[in-house]
Amino acid sequence: MVCKTWIDRFSSYFVIFCSVIIFAQSDVPRPRGVSLSKASLYLPTKDFTCFDGTATIPFSYVNDDYCDCFDGSDEPGTSACINGVFHCTNAGHRPQNLPSSRVNDGVCDCCDGTDEYANPTACTNICEELGKEARAEAQRVAELHKAGSQLRIDLIEKGNKKRNEMAEQLTQLEKDKSEAEKIKAEKELLKNDLEMKENEVLKVYREAEELEKQKKLDQEKETNLKESTEHFNRFDSNNDGELSVDEIKVVNVFDRNKDGQVDDDEVKMFLGGDEKVDKDAFLSTTWPILKPLLMMEQGMFKPEDAKTDTTETEAEENHEELDADFEGNEEDNSDLDLQEEHEEDETVSEQSKSYNDETQKIVDQASEARTQYTDAERTVREIESNIRNIKQNLEKDYGLEQEFASLDGDCFEYEDKEYVYKLCMFQKVTQKSKNGGMEVGLGNWGEWAGPENNKYSVMKYTNGIACWNGPSRTTTVNVNCDLETKITSVTEPFRCEYKMELSTPAACDDSSTSQEHTSHDEL
């Protein structure tokens, strides 16, 4: 608190004289800069107590251009206190409260010019003019609200109807669901029953198939043994029941690298490191390596690298060599040919699997039961998904009287120079560049975010596509009253934070307007 000196006091006399004028502008006399509602706190017959209660001063200290109160309440009509508040009545227009620093600062802040009282000619009172304009505007807004509120009533009706329909749909869907679940359970039983029968009848076939397979394996084994024995006998030139290194060395087919001789490495490979092999060892050690070679020589298969390395002529030569190696080679070839045919047969028999009439009937019935069960399952899932959607919608806050309900899902577009924006009510907001490219999500429906007394004036759409190196995009939609539902502007005040102005009759709530109007006093 600043203590006054007599000099200070004296220098302020003039201002005191000018400032502590009791205004005759209204019926209640009060010091300059004091509002009608606070007039009773400034009584010239009593000492003045600062609003914060920290000091009581003689009334003559009020507006003496010296700050006595911490809260500035003793200087409403001067700029002495940094936190003072100057009130202008602005008769004919709206009253105004200004920081008292603007008093006598050479700028006309109040339309009645009272903030510049030190220079009475500086400001003209334009309150009547402004008041007239403001009243005309208020009138326009009131009329707009009146007309809009009629449309709002229609929206309320539509909204309630829609919600009632949704509630009815939900009841129906719940019924459909229990029905569909029953059908699903029946279909499942039927399916299980028929699948059991199917398994039974197919068991015979599967066993037969298994047997068939086994038979084929046995046959293959037998053929292999036969081929192996035949080859062994042919190579065993002295018929001593063993294949020796010398016997192998004279058979070209063991010359794997085709260098014109069967060298030691080749012998070692075919005899598994032994000096000689008997028939059994030949079958288990030599034959598995030799047989693919023979088949390759016959052109029955070629390893990957051989396909590129071996020319046609080489293949022919190999063939001839092989022919020359064996007498009665026709017989040998026929063995290999047989195997080829046999493999073809296998494919054919797999493709043309067929059952007898009775079995086929059961298989068909089981298959039909499976389809029906899958359908029934899908139906239940679809109903459940519809139920979820409807429940979600029913839980949405569509305004005090459901005035926004019928707008759910309606989409509105707005174009600026660069983008086309789209707001789908209670769903999402998107942005698409006019130069092409993907649609960018600017947020999904979040919540109402207006102030406590006007909750339904702001919609928040959150969790849009993440901004480059930043947070997710969000959009704030200010909802204003007008006769048509449309977007009137879109801005991006901060990067990836969008602001939309949406006008709609749903926001033309008469009751909120009347509240708004009554809040302006002293008109």
The residue ranges that bind ligand MAN (CB under 6 A) are 431, 440, 467-468, 492, 495-496
Indicate the residue among 53 and 470 with the shorter CB distance to ligand MAN: 470
Phi, psi of 75 (to 5 degrees): -125, 55
Residues contacting 283, CB < 8 A, separation 6+: 224, 225, 228, 229, 232
Indicate the residue among 377 and 501 with the shorter CB distance to ligand MAN: 501
The closest of 131, 127, 79, 135 to 104, measured between CA atoms, is 79
In angstroms, give the least distance from the CB of 492 to ligand MAN: 5
Give yes or no for a contact between 437 and 472, defined as CB atoms under 8 angstroms apart: no
In angstroms, give the least distance from the CB of 469 to ligand MAN: 8
In angstroms, give the least distance from the CB of 495 to ligand MAN: 5
DSSP letter, residue 116: G
Give yes or no for a contact between 41 and 51, defined as CB atoms under 8 angstroms apart: yes
**3-class secondary-structure state, position 353:** coil
Indicate the residue among 180 and 496 with the shorter CB distance to ligand MAN: 496
Give yes or no for a contact between 509 and 156, defined as CB atoms under 8 angstroms apart: no
Question: Residue 61 has which token pair?
Answer: 């200290």
Question: Residue 292 has which token pair?
Answer: 């693919």
**3-class secondary-structure state, position 442:** strand
Indicate the residue among 6 and 468 with the shorter CB distance to ligand MAN: 468
In angstroms, give the least distance from the CB of 470 to ligand MAN: 8
In angstroms, give the least distance from the CB of 445 to ligand MAN: 19
In angstroms, give the least distance from the CB of 496 to ligand MAN: 5
Indicate the residue among 495 and 517 with the shorter CB distance to ligand MAN: 495
Indicate the residue among 11 and 433 with the shorter CB distance to ligand MAN: 433
Measured at CB, which residue is nearest to ligand MAN? 468
Stated length of the chain:
523
Phi, psi of 77 (to 5 degrees): -110, 10
Indicate the residue among 15 and 467 with the shorter CB distance to ligand MAN: 467
Indicate the residue among 10 and 468 with the shorter CB distance to ligand MAN: 468
In angstroms, give the least distance from the CB of 486 to ligand MAN: 21
In angstroms, give the least distance from the CB of 178 to ligand MAN: 47
Give yes or no for a contact between 516 and 460, defined as CB atoms under 8 angstroms apart: no
In angstroms, give the least distance from the CB of 410 to ligand MAN: 23
In angstroms, give the least distance from the CB of 447 to ligand MAN: 23
Give yes or no for a contact between 127 and 91, defined as CB atoms under 8 angstroms apart: yes
As a whole number of angstroms, the distance between CA 60 and CA 38 comes to 17
486-494 and 474-481 beta bridge pairing:
unpaired
Indicate the residue among 282 and 414 with the shorter CB distance to ligand MAN: 414
The closest of 387, 405, 381 to 168, measured between CA atoms, is 387
Give yes or no for a contact between 125 and 111, defined as CB atoms under 8 angstroms apart: yes
Indicate the residue among 170 and 420 with the shorter CB distance to ligand MAN: 420
Indicate the residue among 375 and 439 with the shorter CB distance to ligand MAN: 439
DSSP letter, residue 467: P
In angstroms, give the least distance from the CB of 498 to ligand MAN: 7
Residue 90: C-alpha distances to residues 24, 111, 192, 508 (Å): 14, 6, 88, 29
As a whole number of angstroms, the distance between CA 42 and CA 40 comes to 5
As a whole number of angstroms, the distance between CA 428 and CA 437 comes to 18
As a whole number of angstroms, the distance between CA 446 and CA 440 comes to 17
Residues contacting 198, CB < 8 A, separation 6+: 362, 363, 365, 366
242-244 and 440-448 beta bridge pairing:
unpaired
